[in-house]
Structures are given as C-alpha cells and as structure tokens.
Amino acid sequence: MKKITQIISLSFAILLITSCGKDWLELEPQGTVLETNFYQNEEEIFEALVATYDVLQWGGTDGWTMKLGLLNAASDDCYAGGSDASDQPNWVAFDNFTVDPFLGPQAGLWRKGFTGIYRANLTLEKLETVEGLSSEFKARTSAEAKFLRAFYYFDLIRYFGNIPLIDNVIPADDIYTQVQASSADIYAFIESDLNDVRNTFELPETLPSSELGRITKGAANALLAKVILYQNNESRMAEAAMIFEEVINAGIYDLEPNFADIFTNENEFGIESIFEVNYSNNQRGGWGNFGNGETEGNYDVQFFGMRDYVGPLFANGWSFCPVTEDLVAAMQNDPRMEHTIIDGNALRQEGASYTEGFQNTNFFIRKYAAFQSDRALDGEPALNWGNNVREIRLADVYLMAAEAHTRSGNDAQARTYLNRIRTRVGLQPFGGISGNDLLEAIYRERRLELATEGHRFFDLVRTGQAGVVLGSQGFTVGKNEVLPIPQTEIDITEGNLNQNSGY
C-alpha cells in the first residue's frame, strides 16, 4: 500500500493514501514513497484523486461518525439507539441535542471534511506542477477534485455554519492562523467549483462499468442545484429549477419501476442513481484496521441491524437508529413502508428473536439493513458491509425540482414531478393543489420517499421546521441548526476560530 507523508490543514498531521472501494478504486500495494518525490505521472496523480474519493467512505473518524446514521438520529426519523445510553454518547447527544464543544460527533465530521478538502487541494496543486499530463486527464481529474472539494465544503457548512475557507495546500505554520469565512463566501466558492465542473467538456455523462463510482456531469448539476436550493434565496429558485431540469431531461436517469429494488446490492448504480458512495465487502478488514477507509466497509449497515438477531433473511447488528413511532405512524398505509421499515414484532411472530436495545421501538431501518446474503465472507463481517450509499437519486432530484418550481411560481411543473414520485408506488396523484399547500405536500412526500436516507434533518433546518418538529427532542432554535466547533480546533488555533452561538 502506498503511503504519502502529508502536512495537513488544521489539526491533521499525517494521512495515508489508502485503497478505496471496488473496481477502479482499488490500488495495488507498491511500497512506501514520500509526498515530496511521489507525484510524477498520471498514475500517481490518479492515486491522489482516489485518496480524495476515499474520504467519502470514512466512518471511523474520532469514533463512529457515519454521516447517514448520525443524521438519521438527529432527525425525527430515528432515535440514537445502541445497547444503552452509554453505548455511543456522541450519537445520543446529537439525538437529544445535548452536544457541547467536547461531546458530540463534531470532531470526526470536522476532521473528515477538512481531510477531504486537503486531499482535493493537493490533487489540484500537483496537477499544475507535473509535466507531460494529457489535457484530457488534467481536465477530468481537476473536475473530479473540485466536485469532491465542493461536496466536502457543502457538508461542513451545513454541519457547522462557520468554517475556514482553504483553497490551497497551506504551510504547517498556517494551521494555527486560520479564521472562519462568511457563509456567503463559502457558498460562492462551492458554486464556483461546481460551475467549473459542470462546464468541463471532458467530464463524462455516463460511465463504463469499470469506472462506476466516479463523478459524472449529472452529479455535478444535481449538487449545484441542491446547493442553490439550500441557500433559501427565493430569487434563485428558478435558477435551481433550471439546473435540476438539466438532470431530469438528460435522458440518462429514470425512476426504478419497483421501489423495492432501489437499495438492493444487486442494483447499485441503478438507473435512478446519480451519485453513490462506493463500499466494498471484499477487503477482509478487521478490528486492527477498521479506521478511515481501511476496511472499505459501510459501518452504518452493522449499526442499523437488530442486536443478537436470530432468524431468516437478516444478519445480526447493533440496534442503532431504531425508527421512531412518529415515522411509523406517518407511513401507515404507504406502499413504501414495507421497503423502508422492518417490523420487529412481525418478525417475532414468525419465530425470529433479537435483544431490545436502547430506545427500542421494534421498528428498524430496512433500506440499509444487514442481510445475511450480503455478509462478507472474509475478515470481520461487521466491518465489511458493501452496501453503497445512494447520496443523490432521481426521486430526490424530482422533489427538489418540484420545490424549486413551486417557490418560483410554476405550480404545474411542481405537481408533475411530485406526482411522478407518487404514481411510481401506486399513490393517487394530486390534482389542483397549489401554493403553500403544494409546498407542504412536497415536504411531506420528501419525508416518506426519502425516509432514513439522511436528508430529513437538513430539510427541517433549511425549511425552518426544526424548532417545531424537533423541539420535543431538545432542539433549540438559534443554536442546534449547527454543531459546535470542536473545542480542540479552537484550542489549537488559540482562539482564532470562534465558537458557534449558544455553545
């Protein structure tokens, strides 16, 4: 395995280039090389890009900090769960909004995001210094690195609000002098990167099977439109809708005819998928190397499974993110419920058994469930689940497009897209609904269609509903929209970073 010694922005000292995912993401071990004399050709620059993708998978940073599970726990879709309240205190703190600068998942999320940004900056820097690279390789690699940098910044600004803006590889001494940029500047930077990406001719619209997992033009368009939507500027809703239309009308994506097929491992990179985070179950990882990117497995799957489960179909898990009674009630009589939620009581009636964990409701996540058929054959099975995360899929784009259209006055087009989601699962389409009623219907549909996929918390925050919906969980308006800046980061910069309000 190639190792590259790196000076890293903020509090990160050493990073390792590691293998990443399956197919094109896998690297052959070839020895140890220093960063100072490594990047000499296309193959070595490509490995820097692979390392930038690799951070997407990370779930072992400063504890168990998986984006999907944590955002589910912070929403009204799921509780934190686990064996008891002391199992993962950081998850429980995010669930009941008792996070503080020392307690919570913020250290791992901060480290993951800025590590990805550092690796993207390094890739972009080396592209400009290495001679003999083909113009096509440079253009495509630059586009992918900029997409990933934008993606990591978009996560960070939603997690923390106030973050530094670092667009180059900074000297070690500058780690301690970083200050936060304005949200407007961060969003402008994200949009600039994504506009560069979507206007890169060399970035493909589709991928051969050997390159699945890499970025396409559709992913860039979808993420840019999403970034604009999340800024809640009503004057830009038509702009967001127009970019969503580019994705919808590209002729590349379509809704899966059968909702149940979306999340099967056999249907990874299916026709509905626009951007997936790639995982692998064949890296034979164990507890000695379960950190960032070293097992290539999806830890959320193990977390979501039923604890000590004995029975058919499913595998043993750790009982995190039990589904709330509220989501179960909301999905009653919805055709998507059986493909979204596992009914533990029904399994027990059929002879299965499991141990009830913390905050047990007897309802569990099915979309990323641990199935016996998907269990890794080598290494520690708990750390080697190969289930890809569907980060952006067409149904999500349809509903964001519907929201952007109705907020810009085009209710007819909004209804069209909303009804495509409903009729796919056999629900009655809406007729003349318009205005605020239509917008609320779109928000309700987002919850049901995308339940337990990690979108709900940010949806509640950006639409101003979090105080009402999550207030009973402890959410405080004006504070819990973002996490605290990790105290270690404030300490290492000797106060150059300012703590978020309320913390």
Give the model confidence (pLDDT) of 182-192 as tens digits. 999 999 999 99
Cross-strand pairs, 343: 363
Question: Could you tell me the end-to-end alpha-carbon distance of the chain, in angstroms, rounded to an integer?
Answer: 42
In a domain, residue 220? The reply is: no
Nearest to 21 by CA among 63, 50, 45: 50
Q: Are 392 and 223 in contact (CB under 8 A)?
A: yes
484-498 pLDDT per residue, tens: 999 999 998 888 999
318-327 pLDDT per residue, tens: 999 999 999 9
In a domain, residue 215? The reply is: no
Cα(313)–Cα(150) distance, integer angstroms? 39
In a domain, residue 133? The reply is: yes
Write out the residue range of the structural domain in which residue 115 sits: 1-65+105-169+466-503
CA 264 to chain CA centroid, Å, is: 18
Nearest to 59 by CA among 382, 313, 472: 382
In a domain, residue 476? The reply is: yes
In a domain, residue 286? The reply is: no
* 301 or 63, higher pLDDT: 301
47-76 pLDDT per residue, tens: 999 999 999 999 998 989 999 999 999 999
In a domain, residue 440? The reply is: no
> In the structure, what pLDDT confidence band is assigned to residue 204 with cuts at 50, 70 and 90?
very high
CA dihedral 137, 294, 393, 425 (to 10 degrees): 150
In a domain, residue 367? The reply is: no
Count the domains in the chain: 1
CATH of residue 133's domain is 1.25.40.890
pTM: 0.93
Q: Are 368 and 279 in contact (CB under 8 A)?
A: no
In a domain, residue 329? The reply is: no
Cα(20)–Cα(27) distance, integer angstroms? 8
84-138 pLDDT per residue, tens: 999 999 999 999 999 999 999 999 999 999 999 999 999 999 999 999 999 999 9
Question: How buried is 91 (Cβ within 10 angstroms: 0-12 exposed, 13-18 middle, 19+ buried)?
Answer: buried
Instruction: For residue 52, give both structure tokens.
Output: 């930038």
